[in-house]
Amino acid sequence: MENIFSLKGKIALVTGASYGIGFEIAKAYANAGAAIVFNDISQDLVDKGLEAYHAYGIKANGYVCDVTDETAIQSMVAQIEKEIGIIDILVNNAGIIKRSPMLDMPADEFRKVIDIDLNAPFIVSKAVLPSMMKKGHGKIINICSMMSELGRETVSAYAAAKGGLKMLTKNIAAEFGSANIQCNGIGPGYIATPQTAPLREIQADGSRHPFDQFIIAKTPAARWGNPEDLAGPAVFLASDASNFVNGHILYVDGGILAYIGKQP
Ligand code: NAP
Ligand code: GCO
């Protein structure tokens, strides 16, 4: 059984993986035997990421690349293929969120979230698919969200993007399944990373942030997730153990989607 979860001999590209969820997924892949390649938006972040991987004894390869820039992504993938090898596993992790009431959100902010959270996974997937097809196998894992299924005030752009990413996942599965390429999603619940730090800030009176308390009440596990909680599901979807799983969004949410919420 252990072998079917092994990533030995595989090359994994995780976008936006200098820290946060992407970093933990890449770390799990390295521990499962994969060679790690990641990108981030600045050299400073890539250097910080390389140091962080090194601290865990992982020799990662980092590239500065904005995932929304198709030309830059195409040349980064060509460079990776030349320097390291063909990408077997792609995790479209890079993402941002803008929290604002819809009526206060300028259209260009909405577009920026869609660009990074939805257009970029299309761009990066398109860059890696041709070589995966030539090689006869591949894994694409898109990092979706609770907002792939649910709406909430102030996250209109993010929910639209993550809902679209769910359907892009199903479409890549449909279009490339016959080439032995599996495309699935991971839908994390509320995870403690820099992206959600504003929702967990301790209040002036020392109490927990109201949203923090809300999430605890909405989560059967009665806790925020940690990036490490995503490691096992991510390894499963990148490994031979999931070769007949395609177009599936695996929610790793402590039970939020199954639960009406704790009665007041
Ligand atoms: P994070 O801490 O904000 O990390 C996001 C990463 O993506 C950062 O390294 C960021 O770099 C990078 N990035 C942003 N825009 C980029 C671009 N244009 N090109 C390249 N890299 C870019 O977020 P996270 O919490 O780890 O989330 C990672 C993914 O999980 C995101 O897709 C997020 O939507 C999703 N997710 C998060 C949660 C959660 O509760 N945290 C739950 C569900 C889904 P910079 O620092 O330069 O921006
Ligand atoms: C928010 C949070 C969420 C999480 C995640 C939940 O403001 O509601 O940032 O969107 O990031 O996507 O799955």
The CA distance from 215 to 232, in Å, is 23
Is pLDDT larger for residue 1 or for residue 230?
Answer: 230
pLDDT for residue 184 is more than 70: yes
Specify the pLDDT at position 117: 98
**Residue 16 near ligand 1, beta carbon < 6 Å:** yes
Q: What is the pLDDT of residues 136-182, one digit of tens each?
A: 999 999 999 999 999 999 999 999 999 999 999 999 999 999 999 99
| Rounded average pLDDT over 64-87 | 98
Asked if pLDDT for residue 73 goes beyond 70, the answer is: yes
Q: Which ligand is nearest to the CA of 209?
A: 2
Name which of 212, 231, 232, 230 is nearest 222 in CA terms: 212
- Count CB atoms within 10 A of the CB of residue 153: 9
User: Which protein residues are within 6 Å of ligand 2, measured from CB?
Assistant: 97, 99, 145-147, 152, 155, 158, 188-190, 195-196, 199
The rounded Cα 180 to chain-centroid distance in angstroms is 21
Distance in Å, CA 144 to ligand 2 centroid: 10
Residue 249, beta-bridge partner list:
185
Residue 127 has pLDDT above 70, yes or no: yes
Q: Mean pLDDT for the chain?
A: 97
User: Which atom of ligand 1 is nearest the CA belonging to 67?
Assistant: 19
259 counts as catalytic: no
Q: What does the pLDDT average to over 206-218?
A: 96
Span from the CA of 195 to the centroid of ligand 1 (angstroms): 7
pLDDT of 2 over the 70 cut: no
Interval 5-49: pLDDT, tens: 999 999 999 999 999 999 999 999 999 999 999 999 999 999 999
Query: What domains does the chain contain, in order, with CATH numbers?
Result: 2-191+227-257 (3.40.50.720)
For position 264, what pLDDT does the model report?
A: 85
CA of 2 to the centre of ligand 1 (A): 30
* Local confidence band at 237 (pLDDT 50, 70, 90 cut-offs): very high
For ligand 2, mutation pick of 96, 97, 201 (most atoms within 8 Å of CB): 97
* Mean pLDDT score, 226-241: 98
Q: What's the CA gap between 37 and 32, in Å, rounded?
A: 14
| Percentage, residues of the chain above pLDDT 70 | 99
Give pTM, 2 decimals.
0.98
